[in-house]
Every structure is written in C-alpha cells, then in structure tokens.
Amino acid sequence: MTLADTAHPRPRLILASASPRRFDLLSGAGLTPDAVEPTHIDEHEIPGELPGPLALRLAQEKAMAHPGAEDAYVLAADTVVGVGRRILPKTEDEAEARHCLALLSGRNHRVFTGIAARAPDGRFAARVVETRVKFKRLSEPEIAAYLASGEWQGKAGGYAIQGRAGCFVINLIGSFTGVVGLPLYETANMLTGLGYPVTARMGEAETS
C-alpha cells in the first residue's frame, strides 16, 4: 500500500514487523506504513539478559536485519514482559499461557517495548520504553475464560491488554500503546528526529 503523493514525493515508511497491532497503531496515528516487511532473527535471550535490554537489542537487530532502501525509513519493535529479572515468554500453548497468568495474578509487572528506526541515509536511533502494570487477583474461572478466548496466542506474557485482559488491569504507569506493542509518542519523536515527516503525514487526508 502506498500513500505517497507523486507531485510531492516523500520517503516511504517500512514496518519491519508482522504484528497487526503495530500496523493498526501506526495507521490510527496517520502513519500507515507503505510496506510491511518483517525481518526474522533469533529472539532467544542471552543468558543473564534482563527484560529491558532484551527488548532493545531485539528491536535493534530487527531494524538492522532489514536491507533498507534509498527512499525508506525502517521501523522495528519488540515487546518483552518481565516480572523482576524474569522474562516471560511469547506464549505458544495453553499451559504456558496459564503459567504466565498465574504468575501475573495480583502482581505488578513491567512491559518493555524496544523501538528502533533507520533513516535512508543510514542514521539509526533506538530506545526502550518501560510501562508498569498491575493485575487484579485472577480467579480460576477468569483464567479459564481468558484461555478459551485464544487471545493469549503468541503474546508476550500471555495476554493482550487491548482485549479482554484490559479487565484485569488495576493500574498502569507509562505507555498504554507501548504495552499493545508500539509506544506512539516515543516512536513519533524518534522518526521526527531522523527526519521523517511525521506531522505532514498526520495531516494527510484519508483516501478510500
């Protein structure tokens, strides 16, 4: 999909992530990516690595793994949920998701989203955004119902805050969109700093 005005060409924005949530967040902010081109890297943590540094490293590696283009900015991100020094997985089965929900029940945890961007001229920027989240104490019926919903599949920490799990949140300090998968305030500032026309894009009229 391309939104460029041929009379006034602008650089393209490539989202190096397959996450529909990140695409939707950008689109909702008027920054619809011109292309979605996921990069694939080894996402396993290094022994002893903490949640925040892991999120930042993975975002950087994803951005650098993309070949780039002369007319394009590349944006990548990765989200990691941590309880203390412990890194929770991106859950792939119900047993794993149940374990994560039981661990998060009634507790504070932190969500780290790393963002990284490359400009067409090779300039690079990256940062990690931390958000603190507290869950209510979850009953067994609540956990069972959430597992039945399937929303946990592939999600960091076994939940999606923009869905049913939003009912579990007692308190949130930081970036809601960061927990969803892409902190918009920090992302817009990063792209602006690299020269991407964020404000102009936000002002573009939508076309059907």
- Residue 38 CA to residue 32 CA, distance in Å, equals 15
For every residue of 88-138, DSSP letters joined together read EPB--SHHHHHHHHHHHTT-EEEEEEEEEEE-TTS-EEEEEEEEEEEEPPP
Please, which residues have CB within 8 angstroms of residue 106's CB and are 6 or more apart in sequence? 135, 136, 137, 138
CB atoms closer than 10 angstroms to residue 147: 17
Determine the 3-state secondary structure of 33 from DSSP.
coil
DSSP assigned state of 30: T
What single letter denotes the amino acid at residue 173? I
Catalytic residue numbers read 78
